[in-house]
Amino acid sequence: MTTIAANLQAVRARIAAACEMAGRSSAELTLLAVSKTWPAMCIREAASAGQRAFGESYVQEAIEKQAELAAMGVTGLEWHFIGPLQSNKTRLVAEHFDWVHSIERLKIAERLSDQRPAQLPPLQVCLQVNISAEESKSGCALREAPTLARAVAALPGLRLRGLMAIPELTDDVDLQRRRFARLRDLRDQLVAGGLPLDVLSMGMSHDLEAAIMEGATLVRVGTAIFGERQITL
């Protein structure tokens, strides 16, 4: 077995153990393999080991790898954009991805909706919310999330599926859980307000257990599958 296949198996086992602790079914969890900075060969290896959903943060890099994989005959993958998104990159994202997790402004959402090609299904999106207040700069503010969510949900080219967050890095598991609980509470509040959100995109290599305990439905895992990244952005 390759290292990537063995790592994937270990991550799936961590997810299963955390689900058991939380009294949840692993069928509720999606594993997103975060392949940013790793070459197409690594994605092919993960795909051969049964991994289908991949997360990328840099538009140009992702599109090049998608083309290489298609040329290698690797098809049927699902592409999630999880990085910061500038206006000048929205068209490429709308054309080349299935999901975007990092919506934090209405203007970006409107551009993605307008630029989504008509022959493709709506782009599946999550709002990125800042659940760590002053510790973080990315994501919309918690108090702005309900207004943004209603506006995004109304856009025809997008389908609002849920919320995403990247809390500050900490080894304090109780703090990790309190942060993730904020995102879950916000989701519950929005669902009570009539938005049918079914996705909580939270948890990474170091904190996926805490995220699953607090209701994550999708964990975004890079390092634990592919190894330490040389470039960190």
- Which stretches of the chain bind ligand PLP, using CB under 6 A? 34, 36, 57, 82-83, 166, 204-206, 220-224
Cα 84 to Cα 208: distance, rounded to the nearest angstrom: 21
Beta-bridge mates of residue 32: 220
Closest to ligand PLP by CB, 190 or 221: 221
Residue 36 identity (one-letter amino acid): K
Cα 228 to Cα 213: distance, rounded to the nearest angstrom: 25
Cα 30 to Cα 149: distance, rounded to the nearest angstrom: 22
Closest to ligand PLP by CB, 139 or 215: 139
Closest to ligand PLP by CB, 75 or 228: 228
What's the closest the beta carbon of residue 204 comes to ligand PLP, in angstroms? 4
Residue nearest to ligand PLP (CB): 222
CA 138 to chain centre: 14
Residue 225 identity (one-letter amino acid): I
What's the closest the beta carbon of residue 118 comes to ligand PLP, in angstroms? 29
User: Side-chain half-sphere of 197: how many Cα atoms within 13 Å?
Assistant: 32
What's the closest the beta carbon of residue 194 comes to ligand PLP, in angstroms? 28
What's the closest the beta carbon of residue 217 comes to ligand PLP, in angstroms? 15
Closest to ligand PLP by CB, 164 or 190: 164
What's the closest the beta carbon of residue 120 comes to ligand PLP, in angstroms? 23
Enumerate long-range contacts of 21-26, CB under 8 Å, 24 or more apart.
Answer: 21/209, 21/212, 21/213, 22/212, 22/213, 24/212
- DSSP per-residue string spanning 84-95: ---GGGHHHHHH
Closest to ligand PLP by CB, 56 or 158: 56
